[in-house]
Amino acid sequence: MNYFRTALLLAGLTALFMGVGFVIGGQQGMIIAFVIALGMNAFSYWNADKLVLRMHNAREVDERSAPEYYQIVRELAARAQLPMPRVYILDEDQPNAFATGRNPDNAAVAATRGLLRSMTREEVAGVMAHELAHVQNRDTLTMTITATIAGAISMLANFAFFFGGNRNNPLGFVGVLVTVIVAPLAAMLVQMAISRTREYAADRRGAEICGDPMWLASALAKLERGRAVPNEEAEAVPATAHMFIINPLSGARMDNLFSTHPNTQNRIAALQDLAAEMTGVQPATFAPAFPTRQPRGPWGNRGAAPRSNRPRGPWG
């Protein structure tokens, strides 16, 4: 159902794009715009991962520079039967992560410094399993195409605003005006709807990859609280916000048409239901302080020790 819904939304976005081209330049304008979009998609297909990683100043790591983080990704990739992706760290204090790449053979996963500092090993595994689920489902390519078409629609709408459109369209000048105002908004809504659909699917598949839905549920609770920490790189390039596991931008907390991500509590509830489905036992109501057990992760045991005495891990 999620794939079908995504396909419908992509088809609607493509139809919207072609409609904007027709309103602006008639049949010829529609063809020209379509050719431009194909070129943009081709460029994005081959270069989007490099561009996104460069935008966020991502630093590639290996088994020597980040052994525990790298090992977690390697083990999860093996469980998911995926090629080993390139592994990156973002020098941001906000806990977050994303995946990119046109296919599993050219994939990359990235986690922020804040995520590696604040999460247990299980929680890191839950987050990275979610990102590998995006890779396995080829969501990274879908979101690249979606962002490219949405960007092209906005570009065409701006062109119509400054230079006027084809007033011989069935709606005349009103059609041009409506296109300028409505088309970018509609493209944004479709883009966000696709992103929300894929997040739920990646949550479920990620929980299956790591083996315990509550690892990801616990991580999502921490990620939501961590949104209070500004993400300067994401704020500078908000077009990439939909790629992160949780919205890195300020605001947009509601699960509505204007949110790039589902409401975090809704995602946690879905993972709790999945845990009950997998084990036959309904987990206890999720509490903000979850997990109550002492974490045992590669970045230090932060259990009962006072904050000042807790190890901070290899990233400070």
Phi, psi dihedral angles at 87 (to 5 degrees): -120, 130
Token pair for 108:
């990359």
Which residue do the tokens 């396909």 mark? 7
Instruction: Please check if 199 is assigned to a binding site.
Output: yes
Residue type, 117: R
Q: Which of 131, 224, 232, 235 is catalytic?
A: 131
Instruction: Please check if 56 is assigned to a binding site.
Output: no
CB 218 within 8 A of CB 122: yes
Active-site residue, 232 included: no
Scanning the chain, the segments in alpha helix (DSSP H) are 2-55, 67-79, 113-118, 121-136, 139-163, 172-210, 213-226, 232-236, 264-279
Q: Is the dihedral of CA 258, 219, 99, 93 positive or negative?
A: positive
Instruction: Please check if 134 is assigned to a binding site.
Output: yes
> For residue 97, what are the β-bridge partners?
111
**Binding site as annotated, residues:** 130, 134, 199
User: Which residues form the catalytic set?
Assistant: 131
**Binding site as annotated, residues for Zn(2+):** 130, 134, 199
